[in-house]
Structure 1
Amino acid sequence: MLKRITLSIGVLVVAVLAYVMTQPEPITIIDDGLRIEHETRAKSVLEVLEETGIEIDEADYVTPALSAELPSERIIHIERANTVSLQIGYGQIETIETRERTVRDVLLRYGVAVREGDDVYPDVRTPITSGMTIRYQPVVAVNVIVEDKAKTVYTMATTVEQVLREAGVDVSERDTISPALVQTVREGMTITVNTSRDVVQYENRLIPFDIVKEEDETLEVGQTVVAQVGVPGLERTRYALTVENGTITNRTETGIETLQTVRPQIIKVGTKPVPEPLEDQTAEAPQTDSPFREEAKIKIEETPRAEDVLDFSSAKQLLVEATAYTNNPEDTITYDGRVLTRSGYDVTETILYEGLRIIAVDPSIIPLGTRVYVEGFGMAIALDTGSAIKGNKIDIMMDTKEEAVTFGRKPLTIWVIPKQEEKEGTDDA
Structure 2
Amino acid sequence: MRIISKLLPASKMKLVISVLGVFVLVLFSGLVLFEATKAEVVISNNGEKQTIDTHTNTVGELLNEVGIVVSEHDILSHNKDGAIKNGMTIDYESAKQIILTIDGKDDTYYTTADTVGDFLNEQNLSFAAHDIISHKTTEPTTDGLNIDVTTAYQITIQDGAKNRTVWTTTGGSVFDLLNKNKIRLNEHDRIQPSAETMIDNKTEVSIVRVNKVVDEVHESVSYSTEKQQDNTLVKGEEKVITQGQDGIVVKKYNVTTENGKEVSRELVNEEVKKPSTNRVVAVGTKEPEAEQGLVTLANTSSGSNHGIVNTSTGGKTLTMTASAFTSECSGCSGYTATGINLNANPNMKVIAVDPNVIPLGSRVWIEGYGVAIAGDTGGAINGNRIDVHVPTKADAYSWGVKTVQVKILDS
TM (norm. structure 2) is 0.31
Larger Rg: 2
